[in-house]
Amino acid sequence: MKDTSMDTIKISAKDVQVYYADNHAIKDVNVDIADKTVTAFIGPSGCGKSTFLRCLNRMNDTIDICHVEGDILIDGEDIYDRRVDPVQLRAKVGMVFQKPNPFPKSIYDNVAYGPRIHGLARAKSDLDEIVEKSLRSAAIWDEVKDRLDAPGTGLSGGQQQRLCIARAVATAPEVLLMDEPCSALDPIATAQVEELIDELRQNFAVVIVTHSMQQAARVSQKTAFFHLGNLVEYGDTNQIFTKPSDPRTESYITGRIG
């Protein structure tokens, strides 16, 4: 049977504008993001990739001068509706940042934090189970299972980033947003995280910002190219990199816009 989940739209953005005070940073973006798929956002520095990514879990709400217009629907529901609690939303739409940022707590507590505040575990045994499952799905369980009480900040950079992925996964999200998750990692840790991203797409819609076109080509099935706040082109990764239809995309992938 054909797996049709890749054809299911998870996130739908309509006429999205983002302003930082007078700076119009995202201009009229329309895009449908598929479930169980890795979507890469690429484009030159400052083109709005992170800004648009942060719209998808309302992280921009935390920036005073930032103003978002338009609609963003997840499973058909408007995430900017005033009845939506942004804290609940961010449990459902998890985020991993550029620099690994584990809490100054134990490995166990880094992962248990979200499930605790969202009341996802009744008993200690439930919590233990969530922690183990999350660390396993972030492909770091074997490396940390004997030292769950050790501080998360004592791990290597690549391990810290996988711990942060485990922390995001622990609240049973449906979407994972990753903003240049490998940019602080060495090549080996990068390869591990890329392999992990490929596994995560079995269970989540994954959206990754990357400045590396090679990375976008390796990990994503869909690619969106941003330029000066516009979403210039969106399509199958393979098509974007081999037969882009917009001259701006072509200039970027051939290295003429940087």
Ligand X SMILES: Nc1ncnc2c1ncn2[C@@H]1O[C@H](COP(=O)(O)OP(=O)(O)O)[C@@H](O)[C@H]1O
Binding site for ligand X (CB under 6 A): 20, 23, 25, 43, 45-51, 63
How many residues are given for the chain?
Answer: 258
d(C-alpha 227, C-alpha 137), whole Å:
34
Residue 237 engages Mg ion in binding (rule: CB under 5 A): no
CB of 203 to Mg ion, least distance (A): 25
Site for Mg ion in 33-62 (CB under 5 A): 50
Q: Judged by CB, which is closer to ligand X: 23, or 88? A: 23
CB of 142 to ligand X, least distance (A): 34
**H helix or E strand, kind and range, residue 91:** helix 86-92
User: Which of 90, 79, 62, 75 minimizes the C-alpha distance to 170?
Assistant: 90
Q: Judged by CB, which is closer to ligand X: 128, or 246? A: 246
Residue 158: name its binding partner from Mg ion, ligand X, none (Cβ under 5 to 8 Å by kind): none
Residue 115: name its binding partner from Mg ion, ligand X, none (Cβ under 5 to 8 Å by kind): none
d(C-alpha 253, C-alpha 251), whole Å:
6
d(C-alpha 216, C-alpha 144), whole Å:
29
Residue 23: name its binding partner from ligand X, Mg ion, none (Cβ under 5 to 8 Å by kind): ligand X
Q: Judged by CB, which is closer to ligand X: 23, or 239? A: 23
CB of 29 to ligand X, least distance (A): 12
3-state helix, strand, coil in the chain (%, to 5): 40, 25, 35
Residue 46: name its binding partner from Mg ion, ligand X, none (Cβ under 5 to 8 Å by kind): ligand X
CB of 223 to ligand X, least distance (A): 14
CB of 18 to ligand X, least distance (A): 8
Q: Judged by CB, which is closer to Mg ion: 131, or 178? A: 178
Residue 254: name its binding partner from Mg ion, ligand X, none (Cβ under 5 to 8 Å by kind): none
CB of 66 to ligand X, least distance (A): 7
d(C-alpha 75, C-alpha 162), whole Å:
27
d(C-alpha 227, C-alpha 47), whole Å:
5
CB of 25 to Mg ion, least distance (A): 11
User: Which of 68, 58, 76 minimizes the C-alpha distance to 11?
Assistant: 76
Q: Judged by CB, which is closer to ligand X: 46, or 247? A: 46
Residue 20: name its binding partner from ligand X, Mg ion, none (Cβ under 5 to 8 Å by kind): ligand X
Contacts of 234 by beta carbon, 8 Å cutoff, 6+ apart? 31, 222, 223, 224, 225, 240
Contacts of 136 by beta carbon, 8 Å cutoff, 6+ apart? none
d(C-alpha 170, C-alpha 40), whole Å:
23
Query: Which residues contribute to the site for Mg ion (CB under 5 A)?
Result: 50
